[in-house]
Structure 1
């Protein structure tokens, strides 16, 4: 039998690029020529780049680190900074900020120089992981790697906005201009978004005009959408449509986020016919529904008590299905209308529909069941909620325990408190205060002590 021709470094790169399965690609990288394992394989820099990128995107971080260690020892290669920037980004996506920092610090050991590019990448990684104090601390070292650019300032401005420090964000905006760093659309977009969130609309529109006038920058769809959200928030729908018309004149393509904002605002204002016209315009403009559109429509149909149409949206009649937010809205309305049995059925059907319940789902259903005094069903939901690592709101849990006490359902109360103490570890002082005040009454002293003994032993 003829011996297979050995794979060359060039051929390995081609195979790695075409391999879709990162696990198979990793094994191929480690053992490209298993029949000649006694010879060390001289991997190309491209092969290193390809496999590190594949493993990082697949969140196979231990395997990625194994390849990085090999690359670190392979002194034939001077590792390009962008490759290590990708590694920093992969750690950020995995919410491992300390590993991102370690990678940044280790860049010189890969025979590579740290520049503003890797500095900005680390800054953004820390922002992604919401390490705001670390962002501030690192920002003080910006000058070590070159003069801060627009990317640097955009990250710092965004960090300030996310912390609620709008004044600091505008200080940074003034600083970047004083240093001759030109703001871009991302800079204005972040600031306008923050102003609209705080209903500082006059300042937001002034900033938009400054962007046009002083920097000759055109507004993007995101900026206009934030402005529309801001005016819809205060009920100025005619103003919102003027902004939309301005977008059309400028040739900007309206997206689903913008249409969803307008449709939702019109529904909330009781202008259903106008909302449906905008929905039709959305279709005619070739803009497809997304999960948010479904959520908006579910909310409107539920407000009308038209649950049949809401179910149709839930079933994906428009070619797209809602996300967990849409299910939570639906469950909330079913519970509000006393349709707790239907709510339970929908809750149990969510996994089959490809939507996993979240903490809001459990809390919505638990609160709804308690409101309609379906305590045994509420206990089942509570038990599953705690098993998933979630917990109800303290005030609602206390109220639930109080209702059980008032009802005199000590058997169910004992089960609940035992579960809270042994599984969830969320039995707070308020709950015990409620229990002691309700069960320790003269006429209930014997059974009260029996209950407390059982709870202590649980």
Structure 2
């Protein structure tokens, strides 16, 4: 595929920055980071292309992904002077992501101040907010991340699913499963530009199910389990096993049996044989409870 992308790029007449950015993205998406750098450094001069903002942002993303954050920051700072290209909020987000990945909280906070300052004065987008919330959650400050989530809409940046998942994950990691469930229930009510509501995905449900089971909160865990089934998603076997074991300890053998029967219907393909092994173990526990 990457070689096909290069062939297609050379067929574009006249060569353009748009085609260059598409080629760089193809290399990046296939983790061919050296090729991104090589293509960016050689093809523009060879073909008379002036790399624009999008191509520079792909290079920034590549340098961050490859672990060369110093080179990424240097490029970010030099773009206006060496290439006549002004960074945008997407450029900033790539550098913030690099600081987040390396745990450089001080540099992260400093760049946030620069973004809002008079020299750059960029408007944060949903990606910027999500990175901020990720850092707060990593610091064990998920309730502050939730406050930021609430503030986004008022600032004209409606939160998306990724934002909700970030904060729900943070709350779950801190054992605040009640707050995580409350936030989950707010998702359908969030105002958006094209209507109302943010839909949870498989990741949302599984984070909640595992956290609720680990905390021994089985009524909402059953609620989440049933939602998974309505969406025809088979939850991870370990979480389901914990749910059944918890129900049995709570003297809810009937509900435990319902879980087993429901899983039998939803598990498909190669996973079915593996599930039957888990079910056999749990069925023995059910039998012991009846005895």
- Scaled to the shorter chain, the TM-score interval is 0.7 to 0.9
- Shift in Å, 1:246: 2.0
Please tell me the root mean square deviation across aligned C-alpha atoms, in Å: 3.3
CA distance in 1 between counterparts of 2:241 and 2:77 reads 48
Alignment partner, residue 296 of structure 1: 239
CA distance in 2 between counterparts of 1:154 and 1:269 reads 35
Which of 53, 66, 77 aligns to 1:129? It is 66
8 Å Cα contact 1:294/1:321 also seen in 2: no
- Shift in Å, 1:295: 5.1
Kindly indicate whether residue 216 of structure 2 is the aligned counterpart of residue 262 of structure 1: no
Kindly indicate whether residue 101 of structure 2 is the aligned counterpart of residue 162 of structure 1: yes
Kindly indicate whether residue 35 of structure 2 is the aligned counterpart of residue 91 of structure 1: no
CA distance in 2 between counterparts of 1:261 and 1:67 reads 42
Structure 1 length-normalised TM: 0.49
Alignment partner, residue 242 of structure 1: 182
Offset from partner CA, 1:42-64 (integer Å, 9 cap, x none): xxxxxxxxxxxxx33xxxx3x55
Write out aligned runs for 1:81-230 (5 A): 81-105=17-41, 106-143=43-80, 144-178=83-117, 179-213=120-154, 215-230=155-170
8 Å Cα contact 1:80/1:112 also seen in 2: yes
Indicate the SS of the match to 1:219.
coil
8 Å Cα contact 1:92/1:126 also seen in 2: no
Indicate the SS of the match to 1:148.
coil
Cα 1:319/1:199, change in 2 over 3 Å: same
8 Å Cα contact 1:157/1:190 also seen in 2: yes
- Shift in Å, 1:142: 2.3
Offset from partner CA, 1:252-279 (integer Å, 9 cap, x none): 2222221112111111112234312221
8 Å Cα contact 2:76/2:87 also seen in 1: no
Cα 1:261/1:322, change in 2 over 3 Å: farther
8 Å Cα contact 1:92/1:129 also seen in 2: no
- Shift in Å, 1:302: 7.9
8 Å Cα contact 1:114/1:145 also seen in 2: no
Indicate the SS of the match to 2:165.
helix
Cα 1:283/1:129, change in 2 over 3 Å: same
- Shift in Å, 1:151: 0.7
Indicate the SS of the match to 1:180.
coil
- Higher-RCO chain (CA-CA 8 Å, sequence separation at least 6): 2
8 Å Cα contact 2:60/2:72 also seen in 1: yes
Alignment partner, residue 287 of structure 2: none
CA distance in 2 between counterparts of 1:202 and 1:65 reads 47
Equivalences, count: 255
The answer for unaligned runs of 5 or more in structure 2 is 191-196, 249-255, 282-291
8 Å Cα contact 1:289/1:320 also seen in 2: no
**Which is greater in Rg?**
1
Offset from partner CA, 1:151-179 (integer Å, 9 cap, x none): 10111111111111123222222211222
- Shift in Å, 1:198: 2.4
CA distance in 2 between counterparts of 1:294 and 1:219 reads 31
Indicate the SS of the match to 1:141.
helix
Structure 2 length-normalised TM: 0.74
8 Å Cα contact 2:140/2:170 also seen in 1: yes
CA distance in 1 between counterparts of 2:228 and 2:214 reads 18
Indicate the SS of the match to 2:158.
coil
Alignment partner, residue 78 of structure 1: 14
CA distance in 2 between counterparts of 1:85 and 1:146 reads 14
Alignment partner, residue 271 of structure 1: 217
